[in-house]
Amino acid sequence: MYYRHGHIALVAFVAVVSFNAAGARAQTHNCVTQFAFCDGCDTFTTISVQTGQVCTIHYLRNRFSTVSAIFDQKVVVRPRSGIYGTANETFGAYKANNGFVGNDSFQVDITYERSGQRFVTHLKATVVVRP
């Protein structure tokens, strides 16, 4: 466990251990569509992942990003048919439940800095899990 901004990152630890223990193969950031950070609004992305694999998302590698720092990501709507976990403020990963194929979704609120000010983007992810 590690501490960051007073929060225990137990969920991240459990998610990473679960992904690795299941023998899941990780996919690169190509499994997620680009999205724009927008100050205080909803933005959307689509994740396409094969069942049994993990889609990792690196928020600072988003080519539409003018963000100078990411401080926090908070899952506000959990996926129903999988798990979304965080390794730190800038990385996340999605893995479907064993045997699940179909559509899923989740929402993450990302707190970030742009031009010296803090903002929140509400990232709404639609997930397509392929066989």
- Diameter of the chain measured on Cα atoms: 45
**Calpha distance 49→30 (Å, rounded):** 10
Tell me how far the alpha carbon of residue 94 is from its chain's centroid. Answer: 6
**What is the per-residue pLDDT across 16-44, written as a single tens digit (0 to 9) for each?**
434 443 444 444 448 999 888 989 999 99
Instruction: For the chain, list the strands marked E by DSSP.
Output: 3-4, 7-8, 25-27, 42-50, 53-58, 69-77, 82-86, 91-96, 102-114, 117-130
Contact 108, 70 (CB under 8 A): no
**What is the per-residue pLDDT across 52-89, written as a single tens digit (0 to 9) for each?**
999 999 887 655 567 888 999 999 999 999 999 988 88
Q: Map out the domains of the chain with their CATH numbers.
A: 3-130 (2.60.40)
